Amino acid sequence: MSAQPGGTGLPGAVWQRVRIGTGLLPIVAALVGIWLVLGAINPAFLAPENLVNLTLQSAPVGVIALGVVLVLLVGEIDLSVGSLSGLAAAVVAVGSVTLGWPVALAIGVALACGVVVGLGYGALSTRLGLPSFVFTLAGLLFLAGVQLRVLGPLGSINLPFESWFVRSVQQGFLPAGVAWALVVAVVVASAAGQLAARARRRRADLACASVPQVAVRTFVLAAVLSLVVAYLYLGSARGIGYSVVLFALLVVVTDVLLRRTRWGRSVRAVGGDRRAAMLAGVPVRRTVVLCFVACSTLAALGGVLAAGRLGAANQGTGGADTYLVAIAAAVIGGTSLFGGRGSAWSAVLGVLVIQSIANGLTLMNVDQAARYMVTGAVLLLAIVIDMLMRKRREA
């Protein structure tokens, strides 16, 4: 039987899109369900002002979760992202306030801490072959200690409210006009990209999406983005914060890197089957090290954003449940704990699920205890689904 390019049945590219789409669809449905339930119990949850708050609460931990997605994809884990984010926050505060550095320099140093820690983890993993669960657990404790030492005896340092950094994180919002212009630009770019890809595939005599399919996808994208922007700028709602814009931008860039570059392909291959990837000539060590570095740097950035949002850095920044929330978010969003499968968007969806539950329960005056229990139950559900899907695939 000869293989015909673009044989009968649904064309390959379309299937691939469908597969990616269906991977995220259950979690999108779950998120909508959670919103409807929380909104039905307390309508204040769905108020535009509250949803703006929700996005602002989600951005710092979302950036951390995005990094966690990368290490999970490559089949590793990083438990120290919370401590590292706390350390980064402390470095920004101590650098800019106590030592009087320019804020930009302090942020740069904080991010550099992330890079150094990531390189260290990469070396421990690829050179010594240590399990990441263990050495990042050590890192969790060690970095928490460094954070306390950096903060010094005061334990808490306030950032000046008038600094550009705090102002833009706390009060910086995209003007509505700019937000709408961005929506138009994104939709046009997406449609143009899809049509160009379609034209190339047609010329190469490969299966390609039909024009109606492109139209439907473009329409759905335009509708979702318009709805989000229209809702977040409704009435007195402040709109889309700069930290949220940064988070979204990082997710889009990471998504493109993962799906459309050699590096991204290496990440999925190494996470899926490390030995096979090595035999196929994939630079396994480099891929793993880069994932650790990206994760640690994003964790540091998340800590910087958290400091800006709080206007301070203290001993609790990045402590308690930060790392658990970030890892849980990545897994709830559909990134497998077993490596190889996942998407940058799972950071967005997972964080929205967790923060929606936290935000909604807080509005209902439910205590921290119930919040933990509900989030734990959702995480368990997500892992069970991950496991079942893995079993079904291997059956």
Partner 1 sequence: MSGPVLSLRGVSKRFGGVRALVDVDADVHEHEVLAVVGDNGAGKSTLAGVLAGAHRPDAGQVLLDGRPVLLDSPAVARSLGIAAVFQELALVDDLDVVENVFLGHETVRGPLLDEVAMEREAWRLLDQLAASVPEVREPVRTLSGGQRQVVAVARALLGSPRVVVLDEPTASLGVRQTAEVLNLIVRLRERGHAVVLVSHQAGDLQAVADRILVLRLGRVHDVFDGDASYEDLLAAMTGAVRPGAPHRRGQR
Contact residues: partner 1, CB under 8 A: 1-3, 5, 7, 9, 12-13, 15-16, 197, 200-201, 204-206, 256, 260-262, 265-266, 268-269, 272-273, 275-282, 340-341, 393-394
**CB nearer partner 1, residue 76 or residue 89:** 76
**CB nearer partner 1, residue 25 or residue 256:** 256
**CB nearer partner 1, residue 108 or residue 272:** 272
Residue 212 CB, shortest distance to partner 1, in Å, is 20
Distances (CA, A) of 119 to 101, 127, 128, 129, 250: 25, 11, 13, 14, 21
Structural contact between residues 296 and 120, judged by C-beta atoms closer than 8 angstroms:
no
Distances (CA, A) of 195 to 5, 31, 82, 214, 258: 20, 31, 42, 7, 21
Residue 65 CB, shortest distance to partner 1, in Å, is 21
Residue 163 CB, shortest distance to partner 1, in Å, is 36
Structural contact between residues 337 and 78, judged by C-beta atoms closer than 8 angstroms:
no
**CB nearer partner 1, residue 207 or residue 379:** 207
Residue 5 CB, shortest distance to partner 1, in Å, is 5
Among 33, 86, 93, smallest CA distance to 301 is for 86
Environment class of 366 (CB within 10 Å of its CB; exposed 0-12, middle 13-18, buried 19+): middle
Q: What is the rounded radius of gyration, in angstroms, for the C-alpha atoms of the chain? A: 22
Query: Max CA-CA distance within the chain?
Result: 76
**CB nearer partner 1, residue 116 or residue 195:** 195
**CB nearer partner 1, residue 176 or residue 278:** 278
**Which three-class secondary structure state does DSSP give residue 157?**
strand
Between strands 312-314 and 156-158, the pairing is: antiparallel
Among 295, 293, 275, 292, smallest CA distance to 284 is for 275
Residue 205 CB, shortest distance to partner 1, in Å, is 8
Residue 239 CB, shortest distance to partner 1, in Å, is 32
